[in-house]
Structure 1
């Protein structure tokens, strides 16, 4: 299938032909203008878009129950921990973050944590990273794209300066958590931006989900776990 869209480069009438089946779920070379033309194409409104220095990735794969539910479990762990720890938290699901002519990412979940941050306004436009702060924590949930999440996307988040990045393998319940500083990342066993949250707790919540525990049972287990002192954990 070929979709014809306006590139909006120099001449508003200029037309660029793209083939979604060729660019879908792989990184390909593209100018910022070509990327925007696709990102603003109405027929691709359910796709996810990434751009990093002349490379773009469009994810067209449908999201199944395993991805959707594990996304919910990770979100609940983070939100519940932050609530009990009295940490200011703003959560954004599938939100687009854009740095003009440079980068764009649309993670499964993004969190702004703490006070004094420039939070994006309530509208439907991509978040302008030249005007608002980067999210503190970015999470990608993967049932099929874990290798890309650990490679290209990790490099993108390193370059932009996201403080912490988690890549979650929904098939194995493994959470690859990275702290990022000065353009480099290193794997961590406990969150730096949610101090006191062990990554093993997130993994255990995911395993309980895969063992068919319902969300309420997992939430009660989390409340009991977070209520323990460090010596009791």
Structure 2
């Protein structure tokens, strides 16, 4: 059965997400894409990550920048309203390639793309682009990070606010793919998702304890290299599937 594997991946990736935010979600999406049809992988990933991010937001709720979150949601709603009129689903090879290319966004020098989610216009753009990419590729953490690399933001504020924004992005993804996922029958054993929820919470809680011990410099450095390595593996996998 594939669901025990998914549950184990949920625990491990939630732990990684509790420390590095986007890295765990990127790994989990790859695992799900290997095991499930694309639409089912999107819904499952969205459900698990909503729990993990939601719990992380609760753990660090005193650090959430609520003004940024409110403006972000406006851009997120706009992206969903635009995309809901289109019916599309990327193939598995291109899904892996997209997953692999997304981390490249974090290597864009700040002087060429200086974005700050604390600016209202940038927060709207963040919500629009992050939600749009999340619906198309399944993950959007590296793009989200571009809006949260400005100096002066505490690592806990970054993790907490990003977690809250990702709950909204994953909810939009679930709404977009739920109908085709149910029609395909891959979610017939949806009750397994109920077991995934406490594992996502446990992994996130354990990861948060590690994050609290980590310096801001190490947090940024390790996140960058981890997601880049995972992205390279995904690009290779996608190219192999195309050949």
Q: Which has the larger Rg?
A: 1
TM-score, normalization: structure 2? 0.28
Identify which of structures 1 and 2 has the higher relative contact order when contacts are C-alpha pairs closer than 8 Å and 6+ apart: 2
Q: Could you say which structure has the higher strand fraction? A: 1
